[in-house]
Amino acid sequence: MQVEDTKPWYQQFWPWAVMSLPATAVVAGLYTYSIAAAGSSGLVVGDYYNVGKAINVSLAKGQRAVAMGLMGNVSINGKAVRLLLDNAEVEEQQQLTLNFYHATMPNHDQVVTLQQTGSGVWDGQLQVLAAGKWQVDVVPTDGSWRLTGTLPNAAATMLTVQPAL
């Protein structure tokens, strides 16, 4: 004796189980597309020519820092940041700029103005750094030289800055 199922196909389990896999893939694909379309990564530059010219200018600033014999140490203690830089030519400058560039999220970049508080010592205030790797630049107000270093993560407290070559 055979028992026949008289239910229509849409009331059966297996057609829905088989169709759910491709439907899930379509929904996941649309979600992934919406994430990609929502914002740019900030890693791609549209004007390559001007970026190339800027790289040449920054190399000249690094060569100027080498000629001056510059090297410094940056220490971070909570929101306080201190630069130790012992050089007679730099001693004359009351302000320096410390730039923090996040490796992948340019909206987290920070610019800190450092005020001279002693011989070879500049202090400033920093906002809390987001997690991740940071590129750090030290430049004077006239932009004539540049020191750079890499902060491996936001929890690091010490960094050596050297001429950017």
Mean pLDDT of 157-161: 91
What is the distance between the alpha carbons of residues 29 and 31, in angstroms, rounded to a whole number?
A: 5
- Residue 162 pLDDT greater than 80, yes or no: yes
Residue range 108-153, pLDDT digits in tens? 899 999 998 888 899 999 998 889 899 999 999 888 888 999 999 8
Whether 122 and 83 have beta carbons less than 8 Å apart is answered as yes
Mean pLDDT of 65-88: 88
Residue range 10-25, pLDDT digits in tens? 899 999 999 999 999 9
Q: Which residue ranges make up each domain of the chain? A: 48-163
* Cα→Cα distances 21→8, 12, 17, 26, 31, Å: 21, 16, 7, 9, 16
The per-residue pLDDT for 27 is 96
Superfamily for 48-163? Rab geranylgeranyltransferase alpha-subunit, insert domain (2.60.40.1130)
- Kindly state the tokens that stand for 69: 């014999």
As a dihedral over the C-alpha atoms of residue 153, residue 78, residue 75, residue 133, rounded to 10 degrees, the angle is 10
Whether 119 and 55 have beta carbons less than 8 Å apart is answered as no
Single-letter code of the amino acid located at 90: V
For 59, list phi and psi in degrees, rounded to 5.
-65, -40
pTM as predicted: 0.67
What percent of the chain lies above the pLDDT cut of 70?
Answer: 87
